[in-house]
């Protein structure tokens, strides 16, 4: 598959049926797998042979879909997880432990921010957050001797900042640690972070990859390029024997392209069990088959809506990296030449009160906390996700009370703009 374009990988990657086998990927709805002898199963437990024994660790349906996502991102190996949260936690925790430190962009999804700054802090893992637009010197200053990973989002949810992946990769590699990039918003159709130096890519497949708001899920892709053994002192979990697997050293036994995902499956999935169900993986695959057709339409609608809003006198500011006026336009031209995604945010004149009237009068765009599926939806963070904050805190968090986030779906852009126009008229 590796010679084919991303479009073909979306449709046919990950699964090639043999003679007389099902054309669509089979849903292997089985918790367990049968063996003729205990020795045969024992070899699987020892990781001496690959195969399936229990769906908490691996399931064939999930693995077919993971293999497709690995091909799409240009990675060496991948695994599915129960959610995007689990994907980011596993990707970080696979190489961090109590006493480790993470350098992270401050402009990331709220759930991930909380995961790193609160929950992982309780596990003894420290973090330094940096502005994604910081200088190389400022980024450099964030590293410590115990830094084990650098984290950022290609297009941040909800701030819509665009990450300078090369700048972050260069800093990470200068310190002998990998760059982990959450590529949920652009998807590999619009950006493949590994081509720009990222080592691990994560996804909330709940968003555009599924694309229909049907199944929660996540994915982790390893580029297979980071040389763990060259920095063995930093990554003992990968580079020294694992007592829970008879002394296997993952980086030796599974090599540069297999160690990360094998350890993540054999240890973290075994012990924490955040698996995706084969049913969800099947639904995710249906979404992936049309991702390359849907993403350009999300971008077309996002661009049209952003341009309409920018010209409207009741709108004071629009954030969308496809607009020439946007702070991230130049960097988006580099990393997202075909556009980013369908999510736009904008500020209304008249703050909270204007936002309330506007939201109430929308007919097509539903009020939802979700983003990135086929149906357009809107959210006013000040009255929903961020409602515990006062006006000052809202401004500090970059979500002034009149800010609306709109996720443009796959409807006709004329209808979306007409809906916006009539709701803006009511203010
Ligand atoms: C939604 C989201 C997540 C969390 O994913 P879930 O599937 O909801 O657990 C992580 N990162 C980004 C960028 C997201 O948009």
Q: Which residue has the higher pLDDT, 119 or 381?
A: 119
Alpha carbon 273 to chain centroid, angstroms: 19
CA of 18 to the centre of ligand 1 (A): 35
- What average pLDDT does the segment 81-105 reach? 98
Instruction: Using only the alpha carbons of the chain, give its radius of gyration.
Output: 22
The CA 112 to ligand 1 mean position distance, Å, reads 8
Residue scoring higher pLDDT (368 or 96): 96
User: pLDDT tens, 217-248?
Assistant: 999 999 999 999 999 999 999 999 998 888 99
* Residues contacting residue 110 through CB under 8 Å, at least 6 positions apart: 158, 385
Asked whether the whole model's pTM tops 0.75, one would answer yes
| Residue whose CA lies nearest to ligand 1 atom number 7 | 84
Residue nearest to atom 2 of ligand 1 (CA): 204
**pLDDT value at position 124?**
98
Q: What are the pLDDT digits (tens) for 117-127?
A: 999 999 999 99
> Left, alpha or beta for 150 (phi > 0: left; psi -120 to 50: alpha)?
beta
**Which residue, among 103, 104, 24, has the nearest Cα to 65 in the 3D structure?**
24
pLDDT given at position 313? 97
Strands of the sheet containing 403-407, edge to edge, are: 315-319, 343-348, 403-407, 377-379, 366-367
Residues with CB under 6 A from ligand 1: 83-85, 109, 111-112, 153, 157, 182, 184, 204, 206-207, 216, 218
Tell me the domain boundaries of the chain: 6-287, 293-425
Q: 251 vs 368, which has greater pLDDT?
A: 251
Which atom of ligand 1 has the smallest separation from the CA of 216? 7
CA of 225 to the centre of ligand 1 (A): 25
Mean pLDDT across the stretch 349-359? 94
Quick one: pLDDT at residue 164? 98
Atom of ligand 1 nearest to the CA of 108: 13
Closest to 343 in 3D by CA, of 419, 406, 402 = 406
Check pLDDT > 90 for residue 59: yes
Class for the domain spanning 6-287: alpha beta
pLDDT average, residue stretch 316-324:
97
**84 CA distance to ligand 1 middle (Å):** 5
Share of the chain above pLDDT 70, in %: 100
Cα of 213 to ligand 1 centre, how many Å?
Answer: 13
Domain 293-425, CATH among 3.30.70.120, 1.10.3720.10, 3.80.30.20, 3.90.1150.10: 3.90.1150.10
Average pLDDT taken over every residue of the chain = 95
Q: Is the pLDDT of residue 398 over 80?
A: no
pLDDT for the residue 41? 86
pLDDT digits (tens, 9 = 90+) for 2-32: 789 999 999 999 999 999 999 999 999 999 9
C-alpha 204 to ligand 1 mean position (Å): 5
């Amino acid at each position: 598959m590796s010679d084919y374009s991303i479009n073909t990988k979306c449709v046919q990657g990950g699964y090639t049926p043999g003679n007389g086998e099902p054309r669509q990927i089979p849903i292997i709805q089985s918790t367990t797998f049968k063996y003729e002898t205990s020795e045969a199963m024992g070899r699987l437990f020892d990781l001496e042979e690959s195969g399936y024994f229990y769906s908490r660790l691996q399931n064939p349906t999930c693995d077919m879909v993971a293999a497709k996502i690995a091909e799409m991102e240009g990675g060496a190996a991948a695994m599915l997880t129960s959610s995007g949260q689990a994907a980011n936690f596993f990707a970080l925790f696979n190489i961090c432990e109590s006493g480790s430190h993470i350098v992270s962009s401050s402009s990331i999804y709220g759930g991930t921010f909380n995961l790193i700054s609160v929950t992982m802090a309780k596990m003894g893992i420290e973090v330094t957050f940096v502005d994604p637009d910081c200088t190389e010197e400022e980024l450099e200053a964030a590293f410590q001797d115990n830094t084990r990973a650098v984290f950022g989002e290609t297009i941040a949810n909800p701030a819509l900042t665009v990450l300078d992946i090369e700048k972050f990769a260069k800093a990470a590699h200068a310190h002998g640690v990998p760059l982990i990039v959450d590529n949920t918003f652009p998807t590999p159709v619009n950006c493949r972070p590994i081509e720009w130096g990222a080592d691990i890519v994560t996804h909330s497949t709940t968003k555009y990859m599924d694309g229909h708001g049907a199944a929660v899920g996540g994915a982790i892709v390893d580029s297979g390029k980071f040389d763990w053994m060259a920095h063995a002192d930093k990554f003992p979990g990968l580079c020294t024997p694992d007592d829970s697997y008879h002394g296997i050293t993952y980086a030796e036994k599974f090599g540069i392209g297999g160690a990360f995902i094998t350890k993540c499956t054999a240890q973290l999935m075994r012990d924490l069990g955040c698996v995706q169900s084969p049913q969800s993986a099947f639904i995710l695959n249906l979404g992936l088959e049309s991702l390359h057709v849907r993403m350009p339409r999300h971008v077309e609608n996002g661009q049209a809506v952003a341009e309409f809003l920018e010209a409207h006198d009741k709108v004071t500011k629009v954030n969308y990296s496809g607009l020439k006026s946007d702070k991230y336009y130049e960097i988006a031209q580099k990393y997202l030449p075909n556009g980013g995604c369908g999510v736009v945010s904008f500020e209304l004149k008249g703050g909270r009160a204007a936002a309330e009237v506007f939201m109430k009068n929308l007919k097509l765009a539903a009020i939802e906390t979700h983003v990135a599926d086929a149906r357009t939806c809107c959210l006013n963070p000040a009255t929903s996700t961020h409602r515990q904050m006062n006006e000052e805190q809202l401004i500090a968090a970059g979500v002034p009370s009149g800010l609306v986030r709109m996720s443009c779906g796959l409807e006709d852009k004329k209808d979306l703009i007409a809906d916006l126009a009539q709701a803006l008229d009511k203010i």
